[in-house]
Amino acid sequence: MWSFSNISTNIDEWLRSFLNPTWTMVAEMVIVGICVISLFAVLGLVLVLMERKVSAWIQIRLGPNRVGPKGILQSFADTLKLLVKEGMTPDGSDKFLFNFAPLLAIIVAMLLMAPIAFAKDFHMWDLNIGVLYVSAVSSISVISILMAGWASNNKYSLMGAMRSGAQIVSYELSAGLSILTIVVLCGSLNLNDIIQSQVDGWWIFKGHLPVLISFVIFIIAVTAETNRAPFDLAEAESELTAGFHTEYSGMKFALFFLAEYVNVFIVCAIGATLFLGGWMPFHIGNWTDFNHVMDYVPSSLWFFGKTFFLIFLIMWFRWTFPRLRIDQLLNLEWKYLLPISMVNILLVTLMAILGWHF
């Protein structure tokens, strides 16, 4: 299988040829930062267009079809519109927190990119506690939403922020327990170790019914954590105007908008890594010839294919199910998903001890 390690090694050697080790590390960090920002920009353009095209396909209509061939430049037009819009700061707001909240949302998304393996030997930080890091850092995102809602000095914004806080804190429990099932089976918190443990088959196939249950709960929980419909009570248009970002406009609104889509990409990338093997090709046990053919497909295509499949699934949810009430949303978590997750983690632990998985 072709590896990206040669690219990073060549860049490192080239920088070390004329820089000392300290400045080499600084230069590499700057390059990585520029790459992440570029990836964010591309993801924002692609996912917004994908959202609109998927919704049009589900609702049997055309969607964007005027700006560029087949409407593919519509996202560029929307971005240009947001760039030229005036950014307003409401009277009576806490100006520092109001302006810092969208930046914090983007910072958290950038931090979450660090341990993700985009291809074989291609990641920013091979962290030995990658799963714990992702779970911990993702919890900070709720602070940006609470900060935006409170600092806006708007009752709609505050109501949306409080709803989001209750929602994210609740569904983090089920998401965490779902992730823990793979950690128990693999015996490691390192995302690369988890990927390597799926060389003879993805966990969603070789982990039997308990892993499939974990996968379903994970998708539901991360959909709620990213404030996506049918769990978008934090920005329910029919009740709260736009929820926590009601008072935001221009690029500050664009940052929240971008952070939402990037977070969808990140949670789907984590889901693909844990349950679908990440960049690992589709292998079946000892089928050597079949596995060898699968290895010809570049690892990056496997990763992005799985990730965008999960993104499509989450978008499908949005245009299929009606929005839940806040009491229905919390009942679903505390009365159903959490008890099922707790029983499921016991089953997975028993399965791992007895070696009942493939």
DSSP string, 102-160: HHHHHHHHHHHTTT-EEETTEES---TTHHHHHHHHHTTHHHHHHHHHHHTT-HHHHHH
Contact 280, 192 (CB under 8 A): no
Angstrom distance (rounded) from CA 181 to CA 169: 20
Average of pLDDT values for 28-50?
A: 91
pLDDT of residue 191: 92
The secondary structure element, H or E, covering residue 253 is helix 250-275
pLDDT higher than threshold 90 for residue 7: no
Q: Tell me if 34 is assigned to some domain.
A: no
pLDDT of residue 89: 82
Specify the residue for token string 């990440």: 278
pLDDT of residue 346: 93
Q: Tell me if 6 is assigned to some domain.
A: no
pLDDT tens track for 96-135? 999 899 999 999 999 999 999 998 888 888 888 989 999 9
Q: How confident is the model at residue 9 (pLDDT cuts 50, 70, 90)?
A: confident
Q: Tell me if 227 is assigned to some domain.
A: yes
Q: How many domains does one find in the chain?
A: 1
Average of pLDDT values for 279-292?
A: 83
Q: What is the DSSP letter of 166?
A: H
Collect all residues with Cβ–Cβ distance below 8 Å to 128 and sequence separation of at least 6.
189, 190
Q: Locate 245 and state its tokens.
A: 């970002």
Angstrom distance (rounded) from CA 204 to CA 325: 31
pLDDT of residue 211: 93
Among the residue ranges 9-13, 189-193, 271-275, the one predicted with the least confidence is 9-13
Q: Tell me if 159 is assigned to some domain.
A: yes
Average of pLDDT values for 6-35?
A: 86
Q: Tell me if 217 is assigned to some domain.
A: yes
Angstrom distance (rounded) from CA 99 to CA 104: 9
Spell 206-226 as b/e; 16+ CB within 10 A means b: bbbebbebbbebbbbbbbbbb
Q: How confident is the model at residue 12 (pLDDT cuts 50, 70, 90)?
A: confident
- 205: containing domain: 86-354
Average of pLDDT values for 193-206?
A: 89
Q: Tell me if 76 is assigned to some domain.
A: no
pLDDT of residue 314: 93
* Neighbour count for residue 42 (Cβ, 10 Å): 10
Q: Tell me if 64 is assigned to some domain.
A: no
pLDDT of residue 63: 87
Percent of the chain with pLDDT over 90: 39
How far lies 6's CA from each of 10, 19, 23, 30, 177, in Å?
A: 6, 20, 21, 19, 37
Contact 119, 180 (CB under 8 A): no
Angstrom distance (rounded) from CA 245 to CA 251: 12
Q: How confident is the model at residue 2 (pLDDT cuts 50, 70, 90)?
A: low
Report the amino acid identity of residue 196: Q
Q: Tell me if 196 is assigned to some domain.
A: yes
Task: Report the candidate in 187, 168, 188, 177 with the shortest Cα–Cα distance to residue 210.
Answer: 177
Among the residue ranges 58-62, 248-252, 262-266, 286-290, the one predicted with the least confidence is 286-290
Collect all residues with Cβ–Cβ distance below 8 Å to 273 and sequence separation of at least 6.
116, 117, 191, 194, 195
Task: Report the candidate in 173, 174, 172, 194 with the shortest Cα–Cα distance to residue 185.
Answer: 194
pLDDT higher than threshold 70 for residue 3: no
